[in-house]
A = this chain, B = another copy of it.
Amino acid sequence: MAQERTAGLKDVAKAAGVSVTTVSRMLNGSLDLPALTKQRIENAIASLKYQPNPHARRLSRGRSDTIGLVVPDIANPFFATMVAAVEEEANDRGLAVSLYATLNRTGREVAYLRLIEHNHVDGLVFVTNHPDNGDLAALINRTGKVIVVDEDVPLAAVPKLFCDNFQGGHLAGRHLADFGHRHVLYVGGPDAMISTQRRFKGLREGLRERFGDSISIRRYSGEYTIDCGRDMARRFLDEGMPATAIFASSDEIAIGMIEVLRERGISIPEDLSLIGFDDVSPLHLFAPPLTAIRQPVRAIGRRALSLLLETNWQESKSLAIEELVPVEIVVRNSVAPPSTHNKQR
């Protein structure tokens, strides 16, 4: 436990009988030396157990070899999975990850974005979860080196990576249509979010393709939380169950709804069909196993990092790119034909 100050470049240089420059340059590959000298230096490094001081290096080089990862809430399984994927990819590339949770507070988002300006981190994978009034976008455009993931920050001119929300909605719509549902409730997150918008459009399209205009879609908006799911389920019941199927726009919303529906004795899928979105929770063990649109969360996380590193931040053309990752439907057992004793509309 005695803090014997760790060996520095100087010590290595002395031990090897060369200058610091030589060691440093050899280590950084900007100088190649005769085998003998090289050997001496390597021996010195090994015997002194030298490891470069990261702070000094960062100060000198002006970069940190660290990327920042900003997410609303790490405990949420969706973000947790994404964090894991980003960390994994970063690790593979020799980068460290600094983790920041915003808990959806704009103040924190702003603070974390500023990290880039002082080279605290070399770039940011940024996931937000709530509408932006333009401030965030402005800051992002000013700082650069940000990848916006999962949910849009509309005016930000940086690469963006989303799952194919429209396709997801479409798959859900088609699946419900296949079972004969024309009266569907869509429970989304905040209306301003593209995920909510696009999934809705996809859903509508999916139903229309089968039934044309003889469909009715109700739309509730809220947040991507369990609480909100509960509220929406109560509202749905209070309004007399005006649909034969529900498309819940996240695992959390679905979970909250199931809780309440179950309490009230509504059985799925006999009385009501339900389809979810995300599929990162163990939905297959639920009662009933929940059919859902699955987001390839890990792939998104890994891709986010590679986008961050591979983007040419000089060329503005390459910046305003929106990349969509396809989703799939995982059919389980929560969708059945519409119940007949269900009063519609």
Contacts and interface: CB of A to CB of B under 8 A. Distances in A.
A101 B74 contact: no
B99 A99 contact: yes
A209 interface: no
A207 B77 CA distance: 35
Interface stretch (A39-47, A111-119, A131-139, A180-188): A111-119
Q: How big is the A interface, by class?
A: 35 or more
**Residue in A58, A99, A101 whose Cβ sees the most chain B Cβ within 10 Å:** A99
**Residue in A53, A144, A258 whose Cβ sees the most chain B Cβ within 10 Å:** A53
A201 to B, nearest CB: 29
A70 to B, nearest CB: 11
Contact of A1 (B83, B97, B118, B144): B144
A1 B53 CA distance: 30
Given A1-B141, A118-B54, A80 B88 contact: no
A84 B77 contact: no
A285 interface: yes
A101 B84 CA distance: 8
B91 A84 contact: no
Contacts of A288: 287
A96 interface: yes
A167 B17 CA distance: 61
Given A117-B6, A144-B1, A285 B255 contact: yes
Interface string A129-157: 00000000000011010000000000000
Given A98-B98, A117-B6, A285-B259, A74 B83 contact: yes
Interface in A30-79: 51-56, 58-59, 64, 66, 69, 73-77
A220 interface: no
A87 interface: yes
A1 to B, nearest CB: 5
B77 A119 contact: no
B286 A286 contact: yes
A103 B84 CA distance: 10
A247 B326 CA distance: 40
A282 interface: yes
A284 interface: yes
A270 to B, nearest CB: 14
Given A1-B142, A87-B101, A97-B98, A118 B255 contact: no
Interface string A268-298: 0000000000000110111110000000001
A81 interface: yes
A-B residue pairs, 4 tightest by C-beta: A287-B287, A80-B80, A75-B84, A74-B84
